[in-house]
Amino acid sequence: MKTVLITGGSRGIGQACVLAFARAGWQVAFSYHTQAEQAGQLVERVRQQGGAAACWQADVADSSQVDRLFARAEEAFDPIDALVCNAGIAHQGLLTDMTDAQWRRLMGVDLDGAFYCCRRALPAMVRRHQGSVVLISSMWGVTGGSCEAAYSAAKAGLIGLAKALAKEMGPSGIRVNCIAPGVIDTEMNGGLTEEDLAALREETPLGRQGAPEEVAEAALFLCGEGARFITGQVLGVDGGIAV
């Protein structure tokens, strides 16, 4: 049985990934940050469906917490075959109003977090000459989003990281890809007004928001055998908005 480690599995896209991988027969190790109860209920749900899952608390912006997360996951499910770096936060506002602390926090969670996870996951994958990494970027990392400059910069950083690692790790049999979701119906977009959402739907050729499950299916595909010759790619799951 293969094992995946998913960061930020307690809600939204991460939760959909936990369920999709478990349903496909993977053992799922995942992290949460603040939502311990929700994460625990998700573990129960997976187990009731006959799957295997376990979760641990970790702030991905702290490398020591990431190292501890991996140590626990390896103790439970060693070896880890796939990594999905999903944990993320957003920040809306003018760049000129952003404080040092807000910028650092966003970079810490969205970009440093992926670095810490990849640094910790890759050596064991190299030893086994196999593995797959998926970084959850964003359409804003591809196109840039007004009033989301820091978020766009961090998400573009993930694309650079994936492309570079695809080259660095390909000879070791490891694939690294990004997913760039469009507007997905999760709590992250809870701050948007109905008017904002309607405008985004209008801009989306497929005319609607995406579901977290639609991103999860792409992550599952990229980690699976069907994607064995795919690396260094940015897969848009965005209803065509960033085309």
Tell me the window of 17-25, 117-125, 184-192, 221-229 that interacts with ligand NDP (CB under 6 A).
184-192
- Has 151 been annotated as catalytic? yes
Tell me the window of 55-63, 74-82, 94-102, 160-168 that interacts with ligand NDP (CB under 6 A).
55-63
Question: Rule CB under 6 A: is residue 183 a binding residue for ligand NDP?
Answer: yes
Convert the chain into a string of H (helix), E (strand) and C (coil).
Answer: CCEEEECCCCCHHHHHHHHHHHHCCCEEEEEECCCHHHHHHHHHHHHHCCCEEEEEECCCCCHHHHHHHHHHHHHHHCCCCEEEECCCCCCCCCHHHCCHHHHHHHHHHHHHHHHHHHHHHHHHHHHHCCEEEEEECCHHHHHCCCCCHHHHHHHHHHHHHHHHHHHHHHHHCEEEEEEEECCECCHHHCCCCHHHHHHHHHHCCCCCCECHHHHHHHHHHHHCHHHCCCCCCEEEECCCCCC
The backbone torsions φ and ψ at residue 3, rounded to the nearest 5 degrees and listed phi first, read: -120, 140
Q: Which of 26, 30, 140, 151 is catalytic?
A: 151
∠106-154-122 over CA atoms, to 5°? Answer: 100
Contacts of 127 (CB under 8 A, 6+ apart): none
Give the residue with the Cβ less far from ligand NDP, 12 or 239: 12
According to CB under 6 A, which one of 17, 43, 60, 82 is a site residue for ligand NDP?
A: 60
Binding mask 85-114 for ligand NDP (x = CB under 6 A): -xxxx-------------------x-----
Tell me the window of 25-33, 73-81, 117-125, 163-171 that interacts with ligand NDP (CB under 6 A).
25-33
> Using CB under 6 A, which residues numbered 146 to 175 contact ligand NDP?
none
According to CB under 6 A, which one of 3, 27, 35, 177 is a site residue for ligand NDP?
A: 35
Number of residues that bind ligand NDP (CB under 6 A): 30
Query: Nearest approach, Cβ of 12 to ligand NDP (angstroms)?
Result: 2
Give the residue with the Cβ less far from ligand NDP, 133 or 171: 133
According to CB under 6 A, which one of 51, 157, 181, 236 is a site residue for ligand NDP?
A: 181
Torsion of CA 231, 168, 131, 157, to 10 degrees: -70
Tokens of 174: 């490891």
Question: Rule CB under 6 A: is residue 239 a binding residue for ligand NDP?
Answer: no
Question: Rule CB under 6 A: is residue 189 a binding residue for ligand NDP?
Answer: yes
Question: Rule CB under 6 A: is residue 14 a binding residue for ligand NDP?
Answer: yes
The residues carrying an active-site annotation are 151
Residues that bind ligand NDP (CB under 6 A): 7-8, 10-14, 31-35, 58-61, 86-89, 109, 136, 138, 181, 183-184, 186-189
